[in-house]
Amino acid sequence: MNKLARFGLLFGILAALAACSSIPRAERDRQALERYWDYAGLPVNSFTYLGRLTGFQTLSQYQLVVFTGVNDAYLLTVSPPCSGLQFANGIGFTSRTRTIYKGFDEVRFERERCRISEIRPVNYREMKKAMREEKEGT
């Protein structure tokens, strides 16, 4: 199994475990958003990805993280009004290219389109490392 397939499988398992958690969804999302913010870099104007998204996680009504590779993640903020993002089962972008621009492109889900107002790269490799170290320390 290649790295991308393993990542997808791991992401699916983690999502399923989170769904079974006794912690309310709003609290889980808040904690996840705080963790991503801790590893988020300065805002950028765009990001380019090869192929397709490898996953996403909604974190609030206006924020989500998208995964474009095993260690590549971006924290996106969308502009209001944006209803239902936190319940999206799948997302896409309005861009016809593989480059996503803030202020121009939109996140698509169900029948909604929400304009991207901010993009922050996430140091996902370091975030995973810290999570492993936390887990080993407990």
pLDDT at 10: 47
Structural domain including 117 reads 3-137
Q: Does residue 79 have a pLDDT over 60? A: yes
Q: Does residue 107 have a pLDDT over 80? A: yes
For the full predicted model, state whether its pTM sits above 0.75.
yes
DSSP label at residue 27:
H
The domain tally of the chain equals 1
What gap in Å lies between CA 110 and CA 30, rounded to an integer? 23
Report the interhelical angle of 124-137 vs 25-39 (nearest 10°): 120
Buried-exposed string 16-38: b where 16+ CB fall within 10 A, e elsewhere? eeeeeeeeeeeeebeebbebbee
